[in-house]
């Protein structure tokens, strides 16, 4: 097992390396000299030169590339233009906010997805299956941001049940601990629902397919033949194997935990990574944009790695390959 993990980790290193390389070249390919991105408007050429030297832009390209790799490896992302704070600090503020949103959404996604998928597979061909199939297709085709707006329209504006935006109420700081958490929870309901609901449709389809594959197998017939109740056959024998592909989703969802909520964060004005990115894009805050690319790319690689390892944990055959 350990050997397998080590192998996987070693395989991930060139991936991160390639990721950073491509990011470097995309940034260099973008129109305009990076220095001119830092300097807005007409600046004295002397100052522009100095900026260029400061950023090491007069070095030859390979030297710049090595410096870039070094900076990314040590997490030196520089200082934000628009906020005049170190990028690392900005990210440190935003990451927990996004994580609480996306982690809950991921739980909802898997719980709902497994439930729907199982229900659909067990009742295959019946009206329950047909309805869930059609519903899943429908949900899958709804734009997230539109669903969010419609929920705000119905639940927040018309029924006035839940807050429509932000993470806390304006007076949240003065609330006692319990009320503070309740306030946060209220703000979480809609965004978590939007994020989790749409992806649950996909997970449900996945679960259905995989469960149907498993149910056909001989050992399930054996379980039925020895007189086990159906819920035990499905719940204990079939589900365990059917969950394997679903577990992969958990691993592959890791990058989603940081970057998957851009649109939803924008709609709900959630102070997370997505909003940081959008703000950075609109104010041309390049150090932040670059840092986000590197961090999110890193998360994807980590997610793939985790998926591989989880896979090996649940399916011992893979370890031996």
Alpha helices in the chain (DSSP H): 2-29, 34-38, 45-54, 61-73, 87-122, 127-140, 144-151, 177-215, 218-225, 230-232, 239-252, 254-259, 262-268, 273-282, 286-314, 316-319
Alpha carbons 107 and 161: distance in angstroms, whole number: 23
- Judged by CB under 8 A, which stretch of 103-111, 115-123, 147-155, 181-189 contacts other proteins? 147-155
Residue 220 binding other proteins, by CB under 8 A = no
Choice from 26, 43, 63, 66 touching other proteins (CB under 8 A): 26
Alpha carbons 306 and 321: distance in angstroms, whole number: 17
Choice from 113, 117, 163, 255 touching other proteins (CB under 8 A): 255
Residue 268 binding other proteins, by CB under 8 A = no
Residue 113 binding other proteins, by CB under 8 A = no
CB-CB neighbours of 67 under 10 Å: 13
Residue 109 binding other proteins, by CB under 8 A = no
- Judged by CB under 8 A, which stretch of 61-69, 73-81, 237-245, 259-267 contacts other proteins? 259-267
Residue 153 binding other proteins, by CB under 8 A = yes
Residue 108 binding other proteins, by CB under 8 A = no
Residue 297 binding other proteins, by CB under 8 A = yes
Q: Considering the complex, what minimum distance in angstroms separates the CB of residue 24 from other proteins?
A: 12
Count of positions on this chain that bind other proteins (CB under 8 A): 48
Cβ pair 39, 31 in contact under 8 A: no
Residue 138 binding other proteins, by CB under 8 A = yes
* DSSP SS3 for 101: helix
Phi, psi angles (nearest 5°) of residue 175? -75, 150
* DSSP SS3 for 42: coil
CB-CB neighbours of 144 under 10 Å: 19
> Among residues 279 and 312, whose Cβ is nearest to other proteins?
279
End-to-end CA distance of the chain: 11
> What Rg, from alpha-carbon coordinates, does the chain have?
24
Choice from 24, 144, 234, 308 touching other proteins (CB under 8 A): 144
- Judged by CB under 8 A, which stretch of 59-67, 98-106, 227-235, 260-268 contacts other proteins? 260-268
- Judged by CB under 8 A, which stretch of 59-67, 98-106, 181-189, 281-289 contacts other proteins? 281-289
* DSSP SS3 for 217: coil
Choice from 73, 157, 179, 185 touching other proteins (CB under 8 A): 157
Choice from 98, 204, 293, 306 touching other proteins (CB under 8 A): 293
Residue 184 binding other proteins, by CB under 8 A = no
Q: How far is CA 203 from CA 100, 108, 214, 286, 287, in A?
A: 20, 11, 16, 35, 36
> Among residues 95 and 266, whose Cβ is nearest to other proteins?
266
Name the nearest CA neighbour of 246 among 119, 110, 107.
110
Residue 287 binding other proteins, by CB under 8 A = no
Cβ pair 291, 87 in contact under 8 A: yes
Choice from 1, 9, 30, 66 touching other proteins (CB under 8 A): 30
Query: Rule CB under 8 A: which residues touch other proteins?
Result: 14-15, 18-19, 22, 26-27, 30-32, 137-138, 140-146, 149-150, 152-153, 157, 255-256, 258-260, 262-263, 266-267, 277-278, 280-281, 284, 286, 289, 292-293, 296-297, 299-301, 304
């Amino acid at each position: 097992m350990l050997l397998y993990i080590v192998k996987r980790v070693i395989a991930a290193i060139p991936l991160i390396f390639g990721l950073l390389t491509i990011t470097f070249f995309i940034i260099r390919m973008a129109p305009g000299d990076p220095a001119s991105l830092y300097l807005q408007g007409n600046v004295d050429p002397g100052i522009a030169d100095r900026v260029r030297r400061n950023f090491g832009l007069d070095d030859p390209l390979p030297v710049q590339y090595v410096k870039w790799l070094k900076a990314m490896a040590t997490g030196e992302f520089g200082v934000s233009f628009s906020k005049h704070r170190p990028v690392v600090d900005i990210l440190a503020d935003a990451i927990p906010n996004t994580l609480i949103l996306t982690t809950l959404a991921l739980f909802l996604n898997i719980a709902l997805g497994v439930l729907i998928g199982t229900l659909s597979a067990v009742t295959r061909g019946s009206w329950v299956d047909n309805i869930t199939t059609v519903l899943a297709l429908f949900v899958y085709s709804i734009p997230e941001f539109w669903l969010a707006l419609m929920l705000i329209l119905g639940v927040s504006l018309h029924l006035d049940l839940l807050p429509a935006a932000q993470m806390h109420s304006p007076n949240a700081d003065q609330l006692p601990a319990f009320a503070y958490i309740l306030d946060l929870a209220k703000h979480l309901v809609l965004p978590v629902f939007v994020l989790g609901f749409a992806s649950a449709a996909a997970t449900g389809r996945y679960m259905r397919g995989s469960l149907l594959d498993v149910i056909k197998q001989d050992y399930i017939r054996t379980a039925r033949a020895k007189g086990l109740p159906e819920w035990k056959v499905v719940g204990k024998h079939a589900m365990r194997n059917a969950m394997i592909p679903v577990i992969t989703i958990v691993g592959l969802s890791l990058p989603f935990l940081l970057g998957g909520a851009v649109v939803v964060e924008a709609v709900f004005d959630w102070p997370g990574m997505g909003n940081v990115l959008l703000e950075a894009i609109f104010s041309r805050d390049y150090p932040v944009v670059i840092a986000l690319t590197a961090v999110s790319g890193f998360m994807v690689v980590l997610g793939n790695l985790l998926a591989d390892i989880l896979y090996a944990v649940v399916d011992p055959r893979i370890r031996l390959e």
